[in-house]
Structure 1
Amino acid sequence: MSATEPGTVRQTKLNDVLQAARRCGLVINRQVKIGIVRGVVIGYNIARRGRFNGTRYPLLVKTELGVTKCGLHEVVAV
């Protein structure tokens, strides 16, 4: 079984992080702040590999400065 198949530890951890984001109210179209910069959640980062993977940075947020990947600890719902 490969690490990217459903049911593996890596897949489960990503699902847990995405569920935690939704439980915190960080759903698509939710307005948020990253520090003093306002933005809107536009999606979820489902990347399983790389420097900015979805486990660490599960949110895609659009701000006036562009789109960024954010961790749950970096944003506040407004």
Structure 2
Amino acid sequence: MPDSCKAVINSSSWELPPIFQWLQANGNVDATEMYRTFNCGVGMVVCVPQDQADAAVNKLNELGEQAWLIGLIEDKSDDEEAVELRG
């Protein structure tokens, strides 16, 4: 991803799997670190143009993958992080 962009992730677009809930609670790990280190059950992320997102999700689901939209790409300023969690 270019340095001029950031990924805006909607963390409420999926349920945090129980193992990550346990790890966060028992390891006293804050949410930002959980997402940065463990990906919290998302697995692989595929970025496609916004006008192709629905078709990509549908095709992946047809192929047996569990796919859903988790966010978007936005412009960012130099002082912003490359990933922003919302939700």
Q: TM-score range by the shorter chain?
A: under 0.3
The structure in which a higher percent of residues are strand is 1
Give the structure-1-normalised TM-score.
Answer: 0.25
The structure in which a higher percent of residues are helix is 2
Greater relative contact order, per chain length (Cα 8 Å cut-off, separation 6+): 2
Task: Please tell me whether Structure 1 or Structure 2 has the larger radius of gyration of its CA atoms.
Answer: 2
